[in-house]
Amino acid sequence: METNSFDAIVVGSGMSGGWAAKELTEKGLKTLVLERGRMVKHGEYPTATKNPWDLPYGNRITQETRKHKYVWSRTGYPTPANEHWMIDDLENPFVEEAPFDWMRGHHVGGRSIMWARQSYRFGPLDMEANGKEGVGVPWPVTYDEIAPWYDKAEIFAGISGSADGLYQLPDGKYLPPHDLNCVETDFKRRLDDKLGRKLIIGRCANLTAPLTHNESPQRGTCQARNLCIRGCPYGGYFSSVSATLPSAERTGNMTLLADQIVYELIYDNDRGKATGVRVLDAKTGNQTDYFAKIVFLCASALGSAYIMLNSTSARFPNGFGNDSGELGHNIMDHNKPGSSNASVEGYLDVAYTGRRPNGFYIPRYRNVGKDKRNYLRGFGYQGRAARAGYARFNDSAAIGEDLKKEFQEPGPWNISMTAFGEILPYHDNHCRIDRDKKDKYGLPLLVVNAIVRDNERKMEEDMKNDAAEMLTAAGFKDVKVRSDSYNVGNSIHEMGTARMGADPKKSVLNKFNQVHACKNVFVTDGSFMPSSGCQNPSLTYMAFTARAADHAVSELKKGNL
Amino acid sequence: MSAPEMNTHEPEILRRRELLKRAAWLLGGAISAPAALAILQGCSAKDADTAAPVALKVLSAAQLALVAEIAETMIPKTTTSGAKDAGVPAFIDQVLDAVYPKDAQQRFTAGLADFEAAAKAADKSFLDRDPADRAAFVKQSLEAALAGEREPKPFILMARELTLLGFFTSQVGIDENMDYVAVPGAYHGCVPLSQMKKHVYWE
């Protein structure tokens, strides 16, 4: 049907889908963007300007929310201020063979609205490790090849940070860094002096100054409210709703449809190509087919894997493009088995103003240079120092006038930090489809089975010991290291279900995110990652999506797709 | 950026009362609790005959009255507002209902009964004591709880946490005790306290 035909289809409107939409439309392609959740336009953030007293229940999660958003609730994320971005897990079931914290946001913008905005490059250390160590498959792309695309992503998105000259964490094109606070600045100096470890300000997608380009007139600078997860009416941080989708919209080439659940790729056996996607309307249940020359899957690592696994044909009986048998396998995330904190004496005559939507970062130092451990890869810490608020009185006997006097003074300083470690790509960590179990749309359920293994457990020892060592070396008191049980998925950095590699027998995608066995389908969300690094991965999805879109259009023009 | 315009504190109490009234209307059957409303309004029980009904969720009117005085003892009205001015009693009832699981609600109400029984055993009903006597009893309860077993959380510490939460998420609690700026505009990492107005909103 004529009206259902486009040059390109993008499945998903989050971090990757937004970039695919922007790049493809800017290059002139009539592009259909399909989002399974509801419509959200920049500025439509219902709780963004609410004051603390405007929110019910002191902004505490209710029992009703716990029941419905039970996967999300394991993490403690949902509150009345943000839960509208978090899906109802009861209505969107999947099968957990091992507990898996699959946190989904079904709406235009996806999780790019709720992300924590930490934006780090993967460097040569990360991208060469698989090849050197014989783990998984080697990255088919070098750091030098992707570096210009990181530049492009950082400049457009607006990433703030400092250039620190670290081999393990390449510098980028940054807006001015946020301040470290007084305690963090001293912590940085002591860590360097005593342990030779570096502490830097977080590199985050918040505009600490106006953008250096004029492609996003709808965006203003960060107002230091630190309410980002609600959506920012100022456009002070990057999301697909605030940045990439408006750019795509302005080209006049984008058609964005919400409430459209893509569940299958349509494959033409004779032409050896995908011709489009099959869609259910989330509200009416009606089925529609949409057609295009190229398809970008940007539905999240498990979301895209689901669509591919569910797309079987004579050519692909085990899932779309699954000649290698790796589709759905090698699920990774970041290992986050606990956090640590300490009290800080002194600094009572200094504080900070504004609420910084960012913290400090201690980049990986394990298995870097001459350091050699009994495990592979490494971890970084994200944390902050702050003065305690009123909650410190939960454990005090002060009442009456004494209490009132005390809570008008700022509390003592404390410091906390959490390690994020690399998880290796294990074939056994996988998802698959169970065709006997169905959701309310009649679609089969995804089964997920992923756990942390020996390498991550060995790393966990260092994560805890090193945290205690650093906080103690800095002279902080009451150092506490907390162990949390960790489910894969909890860091919300799921990756690896359709990894890229040079060898089609061992990977699903080639170096340009094209399905090896079907070159007009591109997968550019976390699915493609051959290894997880220990850095937050979103910036890498942006860079690879932009590069894949560039390649797609150039190949299309050459008649190769 | 300049600080946002300060609102008056009156609407806070009104807002929570309106909310309760509306909730009662929506539910189709309001529980008449004039004493409870009197507490929300900060007036005495005998004035409450003319008051509109209010829907309580977990606490009875008598329990709410006791909770209100415990909260007010912790954060009393002085030259600045106290817990009752901030609507804390009704807030506690709402949060117990929506946020706490049933077993925790029951621990709270059982703990409240024990609290009153202990007050009576020691001397007389908590509500019959004067403010100084109430303060001494609450402080003693807090000290005992902080020195003892914390799991499950003792009643007095549950009451304290809810009082602090209710007070510091209310407009009066924030405006009168913190320098809350809705839109700070920028973050400055290391500022001498002497250059700051008062307790900045840290949470």
Pair B202, A386: CB distance under 8 Å: yes
Which of A373-387, A511-525, B81-95, B189-203 is least confident? B189-203
Burial class (CB in 10 A: 0-12, 13-18, 19+), B194: exposed
* Whole-number Å distance between alpha carbons of B64 and B35: 9
B-chain CB neighbours of A53 within 8 Å are 12, 169-171, 174
A-chain CB neighbours of B130 within 8 Å are none
What is the predicted pLDDT for the residue at B203? 53
Q: Is the pLDDT of residue A2 over 70?
A: no
Closest alpha carbon within chain B to A232: B183
B-chain CB neighbours of A63 within 8 Å are 98-101
What is the predicted pLDDT for the residue at B201? 65
Burial class (CB in 10 A: 0-12, 13-18, 19+), B185: middle
What's the angle, vertex CA A107, arms to CA A449 and CA A359, rounded to 5?
Answer: 75
Question: CB-based contacts of A438: which residues, under 8 Å, 6+ apart?
Answer: A444, A445
* Whole-number Å distance between alpha carbons of A527 and A508: 10
Q: Is the pLDDT of residue B16 over 50?
A: no
Query: pLDDT tens digits, residue range A183-240?
Result: 999 999 999 999 999 999 999 999 999 999 999 999 999 999 999 999 999 999 999 9
CA-closest candidate to residue A54, choices B144, B99, B170:
B170
* Whole-number Å distance between alpha carbons of A402 and B75: 9
SS (H, E, C) A337-371: CEEEEEEECCCCCEEEECCCCCCEEECCCCCCCCC
Q: Is the pLDDT of residue B44 over 50?
A: no
Q: Which CA distances in Å does B189 have to A36, B85, B192, B199?
A: 41, 34, 10, 16
User: Any CB–CB contact under 8 A between B95 and chain A?
Assistant: yes
User: Any CB–CB contact under 8 A between B186 and chain A?
Assistant: yes
Query: pLDDT tens digits, residue range A448-505?
Result: 999 999 999 999 999 999 999 999 999 999 999 998 889 999 999 999 999 999 999 9
Supply φ then ψ for residue A514, to 5 degrees. -85, 140
User: Any CB–CB contact under 8 A between B188 and chain A?
Assistant: yes
* Whole-number Å distance between alpha carbons of A116 and A296: 25
Burial class (CB in 10 A: 0-12, 13-18, 19+), A538: buried
User: Any CB–CB contact under 8 A between B11 and chain A?
Assistant: no
Query: pLDDT tens digits, residue range A541-560?
Result: 999 999 999 999 999 999 99
* Whole-number Å distance between alpha carbons of A92 and A279: 17
What is the predicted pLDDT for the residue at B9? 37
B-chain CB neighbours of A179 within 8 Å are 187-190
Pair A358, A201: CB distance under 8 Å: yes
CB-based contact B171 A56, cutoff 8 Å:
no
Residue among B100, B146, B185 whose CB faces A395 most closely: B146
A-chain CB neighbours of B138 within 8 Å are 399
Q: Is the pLDDT of residue B7 over 80?
A: no
Residue among A49, A57, A393 whose CB faces B98 most closely: A57
Tokens 């020996």, residue located:
A454
